[in-house]
Amino acid sequence: MVNLTVYGAGEICPSCVNAPSSKETYEWLQAAVSRKFPNYNQIQFMYVDIFQQANNKQNQQWINKIKEEELFYPVIVVDNEFISEGNPRIKTIYQVLEQKIDADA
């Protein structure tokens, strides 16, 4: 199982002018990754709103980094490994997922 998590907020990041919202990024990633890896159903997608109560310590750590302005949202994390912040590059995400899937095979 590969866990892809998008941390963000309903409002657009102040430094991400003209970028999609975090939720839109999450939905776009979910659709793009599902098209890229149609035969691999072991990717679990999760969206975490940074202004809601975290459901575990791991999520809270990422939320704290964003709130302390160490990272710009949306933040993309795969299996608790930082991948991207702000407007993500799909190519980078695909590369990370390919490595995880190959290791899982």
Q: How does pLDDT run across 8-54, given as a tens digit for each residue?
A: 998 776 666 777 889 999 999 999 999 999 988 899 999 999 999 88
The dihedral of CA 6, 9, 15, 19: what is its sign? positive
Domain with residue 46: its CATH number is 3.40.30.30
Counted domains in the chain: 1
Residue 103, pLDDT > 90, answer no
**Out of 18-22, 67-71, 75-79, which region has the weakest mean confidence (pLDDT)?**
18-22
Domain residues for the domain of 24 are: 2-104
> Average per-residue pLDDT in the chain?
91
Q: What was the pLDDT predicted at 53?
A: 86
Residue given tokens 């990024």 in the structure block? 25
Q: How does pLDDT run across 4-19, given as a tens digit for each residue?
A: 999 999 877 666 677 7
Cβ contacts of residue 47 below 8 Å, gap of 6+?
5, 6, 8, 22, 23, 26
Specify whether the CB–CB gap between 44 and 80 falls below 8 A.
no
Q: Where are the alpha helices (DSSP H) in the chain?
A: 22-36, 57-67, 90-104
Count of positions (residues) in the chain: 105
How confident is the model over 90-94, as a mean pLDDT?
A: 97
